[in-house]
Structure 1
Amino acid sequence: MGLLDPQPPPYDPLEWERQPFGERARQACQAWAIQGYGTPIAVYSVYAIKVAFYVGMWALFCSFTPGLGDLRTISTWWLDPIAFQKAIVWSLLFEMLGLGCGSGPLTARYMPPVGGFLYFLRPGTTKLPMFEGAPLIGGTRRTAVDATLYAAALWLAIWTLVSPQILPEQLLALVVVMPLLGVLDKTLFLIARGEHYWTTLVVFAFAGNWIAGAKAVQLALWFWAGFSKLNHHFASVVCVMTSNSPFTRFRWLRERMYRSYPDDLRPSKLAAIMAHAGTALELGVPLILLFAPGGTWLIVGMVLMLMLHGYITSNVPMGVPIEWNVMVVYGGFALFWAHPEVTILDTEPPALAVFLIVMLVVLPLLGNLVPRAVSFLVAMRYYAGNWPYSVWLFRGESYRKLDSLVKSSGWVHDQLALFYDRKTAVGLVSKVLAFRMMHLHGRALPVLLPRAVENIEDYEYAEGEVIAGLVLGWNFGEGHLHQDQLLRAVQEQCEFEAGELRCVFVEAQPFGRGTQEWRVVDAKAGLIDHGELSVSEMRSRQPWEPG
């Protein structure tokens, strides 16, 4: 095997693709359990280099402020408040460029390895406006105005980063322009991690003591991430991550994640214990740091924080939110370790406190109770395994109609053909199917796919995540981005005939309820079927078993 060769699956991919769908699903899931995605080791080094670039550029931008930025004396300045402020602005710019979450081959993005600016600077690409159909701002294709405003946001961020001091007018401009971008295209507010970076910028711009407000943001990130895992989905996430981590390539360990490999791939007791421990850790960190006055309890909180994010980062989860985890760890030191005397009760003025209550309490709570109403990112339901998702089914080669869209990325098989032969490419893509079905919510597919089309063998199966990456230029587990609104935008431009494109849309499980809503939608004919699935019933089945 070469450095860029993926681990081959334990089946012949060309024979595999001729098998019935249920058999393909079984083989792919059993392969994932012991191989994960099969990512070449060299790919992980690319992500490591990207993290080094992220940290190095932060230091470079800090060097524009006198006394900061010299790596030889980093211990004297890395916790300086301006260094933290520049880290937030740089992180926002990094994500807006498409360099962070959702980049590279671990998100089915091979060539080019990023979307981001390749789409957002290009008029004619597809977008998802907040007010669909509204005059001037509600179109489905990016205009010169959209591209110019995006470019202006990049310039504002760069201007702020190269300034010796961060000026109030710079912060105010960034605070204003980010929601405007979100109105024109919801994708842009999400890719900029508005729930974290933009909210913190608002704190910088308006707080009397911004350390207090920034602490509130970071505590909310941890708390709601833990709260969202109070369900039966997270144990499957632990299984999927362990089977894919570059640091757990031990067959005996991966098999122990499941009840009885290869026939019973439901999470084992060990996986459930690990899931409960992870949830407790994610809830425990903010609770300890919220009340820690310093001393021993502060040290305990920081150690637990490092354990939490060290575990997440070492798994190199699909979606690769690596730089975001680096930023959160840095925030833990810059906010809590450096300023233990400041509490969130010091947040002022009152109007800012109200804003933070809405962003950090009301919206996340609503997102857990009514997930269809709020993005899982805004609700801070990170990596809980309880996400909305979609599957797009193209009859025959009708997916080629997507070639008429203005975009920078080709069909995934076409991207892979630049590096691999067809056999290797099919083997890799087979693992995308397994990734979805190995999660608890993915066990709905053997029930829903037959309701969507008469003969699944006549259709090309595609993850909505992959479609969003191709068409919108970004994908990061936000299933709402590749549901009805994107389907309407694609149909407007590609004009699929009835039956050529069917989509299965599955919503997240609301907190306190035992069901997940689903819909089957035809690109031309509209809603075909809908209903709810019992989560407890899905827990009783194998990923490939029909109901």
Structure 2
Amino acid sequence: MGLLDPIPPPYDPLEWATRPLPDKSQMVCRSWALQGYGTPVAVYFVYLLKVGLYVGGWIFFCGFTPGIGELGAIGQWWLEPVAFQKAIVWSLLFEVLGLGCGSGPLTGRYFPPIGGFLHFLRPGTTKLPLLRGLPLVGGATRGALDVALYAVLLISLVRALVAPQLDAALLLPLVALVPLCGLLDRTVFLAARAEHYWVMLVVFAFASPWLAGAKAVQAALWFWAGVSKLNHHFPAVVCVMTSNSPVTRFAWIRRLVYRNYPEDLRPSRLATVMAHAGTALELSVPIVLLLGDGGVLTTVGLAMMVMLHGFILSTVPMGVPIEWNVAVLYGGFFLFGAHADASVLALADTPLLALFVGLFAVGLPLYGNLVPHRMSFLLAMRYYAGNWPYSVWLFRGDSHKKLERLRKSSKWLYDQLDMFYERKISVGLVGKVIAFRLMHLAGRALCRLVPRAVPDPSEYEWVDGELVAGLVLGWNFGDGHLHDEQLIAGVQAQCGFGPGELRCIIVESQPLHRQTMQWRIHDAAGGELARGEIGIAELRELQPWSFDPPAGPSREPV
């Protein structure tokens, strides 16, 4: 097997594709448990090189500030305030270009390996406006204003990076442009990881000193990520990540996280303990670091931080938020190591900024955990929890070919993969995405919902909504709200699917205070067919292949 060859599944993918859905699901989930996605070895080196590009770009832009940026002296300047500020601006540029989260084959993006600017700079591509239907800004496709504003954002980011120092004249345009681009297309706002980088820019622009606000934002990232794991979802995430990690490639290790491989793929006691320990660690990191004063407690907190993000990075998670984890690590050393004496209580000196930071660091995450169907999981800071909104798009026959009517930067998934592999290998890789979804606790709702959505699943091509968003929107990163009814309506207006040709299953996140998840079944041509709730207790008893017999769609009271 060559460096570019994926690990072959223990079955013939073309024969697998002809099997009934329960059989297909059982085969692919068992394969995932021991093989993960089957990522070629060379892909990991590509991502490693990309991290090098990310760090190298930061060093390059730091060089425009006199006295810093020299690689040989990095130990003397890497914790300078302007170096941290440029790291945030560079990270925002890196992400909004599409180079960071949601790039490459580990997010179903094979060729080209990125979307981002290839999509956002192209008039006529599909977008998700915040104010739908409004003249000039509310259309479903990108116009000259969208392209111009995005281009100005890129230019303004580069302008700030090549400046010796960051001042209000450089920061205020960025503070305005990021939400303006998000108003025209919320995909761009999320792709910029605005809940982190943009909020930091606002703090830089309106606070002097700005360390208190930056600390509050960074602490919120850890705290709410920990809160989001206070449920039954995270043990399944541990299973999926362990089975896909390049450092746990031994089958005997991967078997340990399941109750009884291959018959029972629910999380084992070990996986559950690992999940609880990880949650406790993530909740503890911000508390310990906020209490630290630069002494032993700070050292302990930083060590805990390295353990947390080291584990995440070692698993190379699907969605590949690798550079973002590097940025958070660097922020931890700068804010809580080098500036342990700065107190977040100093925010009280700037009441309006304190209100703004409180909104994004406390208010929105709390609301997003309690009412998750109203807010992106990114703004709610619910990272790596397995409790994300998602969708599955079911295309009857070859109806997916109608997507070619859209203007986009990527071809159909199999057409991308066929540039590198024979069709059998392509089918095997795309099929693994089904396992990724079903192996998560939330994904097991599909065992109940797919048979309701379509009368005969064998007549339909199962495509995860994440992959559809990657094709149609130019960016995808775990947010099911990017491929819900708004995207369905935008696609339908351009593609014209007939009744029954495209059925979409949309599942929302579990609210923090409830033990159910909401779901909807939507026909692109006919609208909503059914909606309801499913209990978490029921999902915990299911194997990822425990499909109900087909029942066909039905309408239920809304």
Fold conserved between structures, TM > 0.5? yes
1:95 maps to 95
Q: Deviations over 1:276-331 (max 9, x none)?
A: 00000000000101111221000000000000000000000000000000000000
Give the Å deviation of 1:144.
Answer: 1.0
1:209 maps to 209
Give the Å deviation of 1:546.
Answer: 2.6
2:288 maps to 288
C-alpha contact 1:208 1:349 (8 A) present in aligned 2: no
Is residue 393 of structure 1 aligned with residue 389 of structure 2?
no
Q: When the two structures are superposed, what TM-score results if normalisation uses the length of structure 2?
A: 0.98
Q: Distance in 2 between matches of 1:341 and 1:16?
A: 60
Q: Distance in 1 between matches of 2:110 and 2:180?
A: 31
Is residue 525 of structure 1 aligned with residue 520 of structure 2?
no
Unaligned stretches of 5+ residues in structure 1: none
Give the Å deviation of 1:521.
Answer: 0.3
What letter is aligned with 1:87? A
What letter is aligned with 1:451? R
2:475 maps to 474
Task: Determine helix, strand or coil for the equivalent of 1:477.
Answer: coil
Identical columns (%): 63
1:179 maps to 179
Give the Å deviation of 1:63.
Answer: 0.4
Mapping of residues 307-318 of structure 1, within 5 Å: 307-318=307-318
Moved more, 287-296 or 151-160: 287-296
1:538 maps to 539
Give the Å deviation of 1:61.
Answer: 0.2
1:362 maps to 363
1:25 maps to 25
Is residue 108 of structure 1 aligned with residue 91 of structure 2?
no
Task: Determine helix, strand or coil for the equivalent of 1:42.
Answer: helix
Unaligned stretches of 5+ residues in structure 2: 549-558
Q: Deviations over 1:459-507 (max 9, x none)?
A: 1110000000000000000000000100000000001111100000000
Mapping of residues 139-154 of structure 1, within 5 Å: 139-154=139-154
Task: Determine helix, strand or coil for the equivalent of 1:511.
Answer: coil
Extract structure 1 runs of 4+ deviating beyond 2 A.
Answer: none
Q: Distance in 1 between matches of 2:71 and 2:346?
A: 33
Q: Distance in 2 between matches of 1:362 and 1:56?
A: 36
1:193 maps to 193
Q: Distance in 2 between matches of 1:164 and 1:358?
A: 31
What letter is aligned with 1:222? W
2:553 maps to none
Give the Å deviation of 1:208.
Answer: 2.4
Give the Å deviation of 1:417.
Answer: 0.3
Q: Deviations over 1:127-177 (max 9, x none)?
A: 000001111110000001100100000000000000111121110010001
Task: Determine helix, strand or coil for the equivalent of 1:294.
Answer: coil
Task: Determine helix, strand or coil for the equivalent of 1:529.
Answer: strand
What letter is aligned with 1:277? A
What letter is aligned with 2:95? E
Is residue 378 of structure 1 aligned with residue 376 of structure 2?
no
C-alpha contact 1:209 1:346 (8 A) present in aligned 2: no
2:412 maps to 411
Q: Distance in 2 between matches of 1:284 and 1:514?
A: 25
What letter is aligned with 2:442? H
Task: Determine helix, strand or coil for the equivalent of 2:169.
Answer: helix
2:346 maps to 346
C-alpha contact 2:451 2:547 (8 A) present in aligned 1: no
Mapping of residues 66-85 of structure 1, within 5 Å: 66-85=66-85
2:556 maps to none
1:221 maps to 221
Q: When the two structures are superposed, what TM-score results if normalisation uses the length of structure 1?
A: 1.00
1:266 maps to 266
Q: Distance in 1 between matches of 2:475 and 2:344?
A: 34
What letter is aligned with 1:70? E
Q: Distance in 2 between matches of 1:476 and 1:41?
A: 23
2:248 maps to 248
Task: Determine helix, strand or coil for the equivalent of 1:390.
Answer: strand
C-alpha contact 2:98 2:115 (8 A) present in aligned 1: yes
Q: Distance in 1 between matches of 2:36 and 2:255?
A: 12
What letter is aligned with 1:455? D
Give the Å deviation of 1:2.
Answer: 1.2
What letter is aligned with 1:470? L
